[in-house]
Structure 1
Amino acid sequence: MAEASLHRLTQELEQRVAERTADLSKALHELQQTQIQLVQSEKLSSLGQLVAGIAHEINNPVNFIAGNLIHIDEYTQNLLEFIRRFEENYPDPSPPLKHYLEEIDLEFLKQDLEKIVSSMKLGADRIRQIVLSLRNFSRLDEAEFKAVDIHEGIDSTLLILHNRLKSKPDHPEIQVVKEYGNLPAIECYAGQLNQVFMNLLSNAIDALEESATFKELNAESSQNAACPPAHPTITIRTEVAEPDFITITIADNGPGIPEEVRKRLFDPFFTTKPIGKGTGLGLSISHQVVTEKHRGSLWCVSEPGRGAEFWIKLPIHQVPVQATAA
């Protein structure tokens, strides 16, 4: 009788322990998710406000310069026309004037002045394009689902990352190959998806920069010009995969990802980067944005030595769900 009671008591204790463990595991998971959402919200809000603020501050002086360049171009043409007519009416200037014209090289000035004004107009237009890209990336005014051009978001992100793609003294330029399909406008939280693109592209750049092949590319190319190693490349593909879905693939030809690491890529706070360089939240937040906020899918295909491919699958049309992050 005592043995039966002890057995029953043991079972009850084991059940309580199991239930308590399950409750604690659930509470821990919810705490992690809440922490991720808070970090995500803070990161998106801070980055969006920073980018939007920079775009606003740049936009005002650029508009001032671009507006005045219209008048400068007109005045330049008028002055050049005046010089042309002056030369027609006074083909034989006085010796002092002739000496001065030779000294300033009038013919060169006439040609170069037009080139300078044209270059200034191109520069102003380029800055305005950058400002537009920064605004497209931040998307602070779009807190609800909106149909957008996904390619604009990707291009805006690439523009922001342009400095990391350029060649440096210790490594060559990272080439970006864009294989864009004919996509319809996608209903999404544009600012959050742009952050996903930023995370995936930044990770691809990190992988290429840290690979031995990348670092030794220049040395190997000079020693084996007949058969140079593959150039560091990021390839971005988009297509309509099914009638109601699109896919976005961001692939690199870096060192690849071991299976044991690939399985944990989207775990909160998991990172293989050195302390201070990675938080372990970028891919976790990206996975949450794609799967929970957009009801899509995000996965990785990779093998050591064969690079890595991150796949995003998104529905073209969405039923809005309440967003917990800005």
Structure 2
Amino acid sequence: DAVFSGRSKLRGIDPKGLKAFQTLLRKYDGLTQEYARKINNLFTHLFFDNPSNIQRNSLQIALSELDKHTLSPQFHGFVEHVESLFETVVEEAEEAEEELDRAEQIRTQLIVASLLLSAVFAVALALMTSQAIAGPVQAATRVAKQVTQEDNFNLQAPVTTNDEIGSLTTSLNELIQRVKQLLIQQKAAEAKLVQSEKMASLGQLVAGVAHEINNPVNFIHGNLTHAQDYTYDLMRLLQQYQNRYPNPYPDIQSELDAIDLEFLKQDLPKLLQSMRVGTERIRDIVLSLRNFSRLDEAEFKAVDIHEGIESTLMILQHRLKPKPNYPGIQIKKTYGTLPLVECYPGQLNQVLINLIANAIDALEEAQTKSPPSATPTLIPTIHIRTQIIDQQQVQIRIADNGPGIPAAIQKYLFEPFFTTKPIGKGTGLGLSISHQVVVEKHGGHLSYHSSPGQGTEFVIEIPIKQPAKKSM
């Protein structure tokens, strides 16, 4: 009964306990069968042989005899072994159930901990993902706002990834640089437009002044010939009077002495000649101004390049003359035989005056940096040379023996607004405009060669014939 009453608890028994129980049953297998036959015979004798005479004393006597049988101690030992084994098995089953309960608790705890860890990991992953996406976007947004608010197009958003966000940031940086270049180009175009308008206004003013000066100068120059003829006629007549009347009256002699007639006879022709030279000089200057101010010519014209160079030198003549503590600048010209060149004369003259003026500035700067007591080793010189190249282009070379251009700034020479001159003296547009006129307007090439201490040479090359008529 103990065995069968504990059967419900055998589900948690260790397999080793079940094996021990089976071994015990096999050991006492014959004993249990023999004991069972004894009990069966006893009950058969009592209940089936004399079923009506069964008495309590008879049953007790039968059980007492069965207990005294030699099989009884063995069977009782078997039962004790079974009970002991069963108790052990039950205890092990209870311990197994306790272990199972603890394992179930641990499993539950592990599941809860896993869920918590998964939640924490998911939150951390979400934060990291959000930071990885939102961080670069926020940085790019801050840079974009700062650029628009401060107009600082030197700012760049940091590119920290190679994904779509990195591509977006790179595109933003490229857009900022593109806008910067467009603004620089717009500013340069506006400055060049203002400069062109100034030069056009200056050209109109110079042309008007030259015209107004030219009329009275031509009148004076033309009348000087007549005045000189009249003077010579009067002097011949006076000489005849002196020959006829060598001893004039005292009052006439007194007047002759007062005016120093002999000096007048010698000096008056010289005075008239100097006036002629002066009027011719004014006419040359006016002609140079008129040649230089050809800014109203909107089409290509075949012109003499040498005439433009001479006009430019005439305008800059005052800067070439010697000054106190300055020996002046020597102009050396080596002209080749050039045909008439199709160009915009006014614009090309502007290029010439920009390059020659820059050469003069460089020579003057070298002189100002030299000690006043220093003896000049070289005479400041500008060498202008012209020649034909391949029968299709003309070349104009303007070289000076100044200090040269530092290598660090040479790459910026043609950039708009770049200048090394003091504020108020240079706009930084001279070389930029010159490059535009030569390259874009005339389809030519403007280059330079410079070494520190060796001077600078600018080279202009433009076609003799333009491929087609252009409009400015």
Q: Same fold judged by TM-score > 0.5?
A: yes
**When the two structures are superposed, what TM-score results if normalisation uses the length of structure 2?**
0.62
> Does the Cα contact within 8 Å between 1:147 and 1:186 map onto a contact in 2?
yes
Q: Which moved more, 1:247-256 or 1:205-214?
A: 205-214
Structure possessing the higher relative contact order (Cα contacts under 8 Å, 6 or more residues apart): 1
Q: 1:92 to 1:139 in 2, by over 3 A?
A: same
**When the two structures are superposed, what TM-score results if normalisation uses the length of structure 1?**
0.88
2:462 is aligned to: 314
> Does the Cα contact within 8 Å between 1:36 and 1:285 map onto a contact in 2?
no
Partner SS for 1:167 = coil
Q: CA deviation at 1:176?
A: 0.9
1:256 is aligned to: 404
Give 2:453's aligned amino acid.
G
Regions of 4+ moved over 6 Å:
none
Superposition pairs for residues 235-314 of structure 1, below 5 Å?
A: 235-314=383-462
The separation in 1 between residues aligned to 2:369 and 2:394, in whole angstroms, is 31
Q: CA deviation at 1:207?
A: 0.7
Partner SS for 1:50 = helix
> Does the Cα contact within 8 Å between 1:171 and 1:214 map onto a contact in 2?
no
Partner SS for 1:209 = helix
The separation in 1 between residues aligned to 2:367 and 2:265, in whole angstroms, is 52
What value does the CA root-mean-square deviation take over the aligned residues? 2.3
The separation in 1 between residues aligned to 2:198 and 2:451, in whole angstroms, is 31
1:198 to 353, 375, 391: 353
1:225 is aligned to: none
Partner SS for 2:374 = helix
> Does the Cα contact within 8 Å between 1:262 and 1:300 map onto a contact in 2?
no
Partner SS for 1:237 = strand
Deviations 1:238-292 (A, max 9, x none): 1112210011111111100111211110011111111221111110000000000
> Does the Cα contact within 8 Å between 2:292 and 2:346 map onto a contact in 1?
yes
Partner SS for 1:249 = strand
1:66 to 221, 226, 230: 221
Q: Which moved more, 1:86-95 or 1:297-306?
A: 86-95
The separation in 2 between residues aligned to 1:214 and 1:61, in whole angstroms, is 44
Q: CA deviation at 1:129?
A: 1.0
Superposition pairs for residues 126-145 of structure 1, below 5 Å?
A: 126-145=281-300
Give 1:90's aligned amino acid.
Y
**Any stretches of 5+ residues in structure 1 without a counterpart?**
222-227
The separation in 2 between residues aligned to 1:215 and 1:12, in whole angstroms, is 56
Q: 1:24 to 1:58 in 2, by over 3 A?
A: same
Deviations 1:133-181 (A, max 9, x none): 1101101442210000111111111111111111111322111111111
1:51 to 194, 201, 206: 206
1:78 is aligned to: 233
The separation in 2 between residues aligned to 1:60 and 1:269, in whole angstroms, is 40
Deviations 1:53-105 (A, max 9, x none): 22123212212322332331122122112112212322332333334323332
Q: 1:321 to 1:28 in 2, by over 3 A?
A: farther
2:336 is aligned to: 181
> Does the Cα contact within 8 Å between 2:210 and 2:289 map onto a contact in 1?
yes
Give 2:408's aligned amino acid.
E
> Does the Cα contact within 8 Å between 2:214 and 2:286 map onto a contact in 1?
yes
Partner SS for 2:328 = coil
2:315 is aligned to: 160
Q: Determine whether 1:211 maps to 2:366.
A: yes
Partner SS for 2:465 = coil
> Does the Cα contact within 8 Å between 1:259 and 1:303 map onto a contact in 2?
yes
The separation in 1 between residues aligned to 2:251 and 2:178, in whole angstroms, is 97
Identity rate, percent: 57
Q: Determine whether 1:220 maps to 2:368.
A: no
1:91 is aligned to: 246
The separation in 1 between residues aligned to 2:380 and 2:208, in whole angstroms, is 33
Q: CA deviation at 1:315?
A: 0.6
Q: Determine whether 1:101 maps to 2:256.
A: yes
Deviations 1:194-234 (A, max 9, x none): 11111111111111111157744x7333xxxxxx5011111
Superposition pairs for residues 1-80 of structure 1, below 5 Å?
A: 9-10=164-165, 12-14=167-169, 16-17=171-172, 20-21=175-176, 23-25=178-180, 27-28=182-183, 30-80=185-235
Paired positions, count: 314
Partner SS for 1:220 = coil
Q: 1:204 to 1:282 in 2, by over 3 A?
A: same
Partner SS for 1:60 = helix
**Any stretches of 5+ residues in structure 2 without a counterpart?**
1-125, 134-161
Partner SS for 1:45 = helix
Q: CA deviation at 1:187?
A: 0.5
2:4 is aligned to: none
Q: 1:213 to 1:30 in 2, by over 3 A?
A: closer
> Does the Cα contact within 8 Å between 1:145 and 1:189 map onto a contact in 2?
yes
Q: 1:43 to 1:68 in 2, by over 3 A?
A: same
